A = this chain, B = another copy of it.
Amino acid sequence: MTEKKPVAENVVLVGKKPAMSYVLACVTQFNDGKKEVVLRARGRAISHAVDVAEIVRNKFLSDVKVKDIKISTEEIEGENGEKVNVSAIEIVLAK
């Protein structure tokens, strides 16, 4: 997996860590004054990103709403250099 896109400050990339680490990252961003935080995930981490969004707004910051959700397909390079399609999600949380 090679992705070298620059990541904006208010973007949280959701991967394999426990959900709480990403929840904490989101809550920290909002407490730092950000009005929007974007959760991004690919493949099996998509379910995880939805969990994170739900935990943030249900258990931590009830004034945060889901502003937008986009799904897409990204082409990534597999282990042997072949191209593999993988689904991706972007969840925009906003105060």
The chain A residues found within 8 Å of chain B, CB to CB, are: 43-47, 50-51, 53-54, 58, 66, 69-73, 85, 87, 89, 91
Residues in chain B near residue A87, CB distance under 8 A:
47, 50-51, 54
Number of copies: 2
Residues in chain B near residue A71, CB distance under 8 A:
50, 53-54, 66, 69, 91
Residues in chain B near residue A54, CB distance under 8 A:
71-73, 85, 87
* A17: min CB distance to chain B, Å: 16
Residues in chain B near residue A89, CB distance under 8 A:
50
Instruction: Report the bound CA distance from A45 to B47 in whole Å.
Output: 7
Residues in chain B near residue A66, CB distance under 8 A:
70-71
